[in-house]
Structure 1
Amino acid sequence: MPRTEREVAIEVTAATVKLGDVMTVGGLPMTVLDLADLPSGAKRVVFGGGHTLSIRPGTTLTVLRVAKGW
């Protein structure tokens, strides 16, 4: 049986967020398109349409991530 991809919900921080993660912001799923390091360990997350979100080091968010091999 071939392995497939599956979206799983995981918790991320500024240090562990990745390109392709899907966050729900304001009830809308938004895919992470770009990441930029900010001072003090924070990250700027860029979504489609130019929307951005800054994540501080102590913040934990739940995202959907594609896990291969399910």
Structure 2
Amino acid sequence: MSRLTVRTVEVTGDQVRVGDVIAVGGLPHTVSDVRQVRPDRRRLEFEDGNAYVLGRGRSIRVVRTSTDRGR
């Protein structure tokens, strides 16, 4: 049986993953793609079509889910 775990973690721009949820302007956005646009910048594209450019070393909080598989 699988168990879904949801947690809030603080990561830097170079640790953001597809599927992370980030609040921008108080609204949650799910990351659909991450691209490097300069050596020190990442472009985060969201499922709703919006995008945000984030510095690689900038700390932000994201909501991340994972599935734990039990026996």
CA contact (8 A) 2:34 2:43 kept: yes
CA contact (8 A) 2:12 2:56 kept: yes
Q: In 1, distance between residues paired with 2:35 and 2:44?
A: 7
Q: In 2, distance between residues paired with 1:26 and 1:41?
A: 23
RMSD: 1.5
Kindly indicate whether residue 52 of structure 2 is the aligned counterpart of residue 53 of structure 1.
yes
2:39 is aligned to 40
User: Where does 1:1-70 land on structure 2 (aligned, <5 Å)?
Assistant: 2-69=1-68
Q: In 1, distance between residues paired with 2:48 and 2:18?
A: 16
More strand as a share of residues: 2
Q: Shift of residue 69 of structure 1?
A: 1.6
CA contact (8 A) 1:13 1:61 kept: yes
Give the gaps of 5 or more residues in structure 2.
Answer: none
In structure 2, give the amino acid aligned to 1:23.
I
Q: Shift of residue 39 of structure 1?
A: 1.0
Q: Percent identity?
A: 30
Q: Shift of residue 36 of structure 1?
A: 0.8
Give the gaps of 5 or more residues in structure 1.
Answer: none
Q: In 1, distance between residues paired with 2:61 and 2:24?
A: 11
Q: TM-score, normalised by structure 2?
A: 0.84
More helix as a share of residues: 1
